[in-house]
Amino acid sequence: MAGAPSDNLFITDLPEGTTDETLKSVFGSYGTVVSSKALKDGKTAMVRYSSVEEAQWVVDNVNGNIPQGITTPVQVKFAAPPPSFSPKGGKGAGAWDSGKGGGKSGWDGGKAGGWGGDNPNTQVQIDPEDLRGCRQRCDNGLVKPSHLPRR
């Protein structure tokens, strides 16, 4: 998980049980921490600095080293940005845009426009008999609208 330089850092190899307060205390000594969040496993975290320059300094100087207040070396990388979300299928300008839809859809029978692709939020009426075949084709057990028979 490494992204382009940004003010948001992904930190791993933290001591188990690291808290938000510990993060602010330890990483606040390297710059202005705007927000920090210890993730559920207690060994990884996200820390956001007030500038890309501060974050860059932490990546350059703390990555692979032992920060003051922690007893083991940590890995510090730029966080990858979250994937962009677009409820429209096909090519568009982004989330909730007026870009051209496309793809297959339970709403429009596969015609261009409308909700498209394998959007997990697409709602269609499903016959229980149709699900049996879909579950056999989907290794993760999820139902994809594109796998359902057209009517």
Distance between alpha carbon 75 and the CA centroid of its chain, in Å? 19
pLDDT digits (tens, 9 = 90+) for 14-43: 999 899 999 999 999 999 999 999 998 889
Q: Give the per-residue pLDDT at 130.
A: 54
Place of tokens 């959007």: 119
Query: pTM (2 decimals)?
Result: 0.55
Q: How confident is the model at residue 3 (pLDDT cuts 50, 70, 90)?
A: confident
Amino acid at 9: L
CA torsion, ordered 124, 130, 133, 136, to nearest 10 deg: 50
125, pLDDT greater than 70: no
Q: Helix/strand/coil (H, E, C) string of the chain?
A: CCCCCCCEEEEECCCCCCCHHHHHHHHHCCCCEEEEEECCCCCCEEEEECCHHHHHHHHHHHCCCCCCCCCCCCEEEECCCCCCCCCECCCCCCCCCCCCCCCCCCCCCCCCCCECCCCCCCCCCCCHHHHHHHHHHCCCCCCCHHHCCCC
The mean predicted confidence, pLDDT, of the chain is 73
DSSP 8-state secondary structure symbol assigned to residue 47: E
- Parallel, antiparallel or unpaired: strands 75-78 and 8-12: antiparallel
- Parallel, antiparallel or unpaired: strands 75-78 and 33-38: unpaired
pLDDT digits (tens, 9 = 90+) for 85-109: 555 554 444 444 444 444 444 444 4
The more confidently predicted of residues 117 and 31 is 31
User: What percent of the chain clears pLDDT 90, i.e. is strictly above it?
Assistant: 47
Q: Which domains does the chain carry? A: 8-78 (3.30.70.330), 100-151 (no CATH)
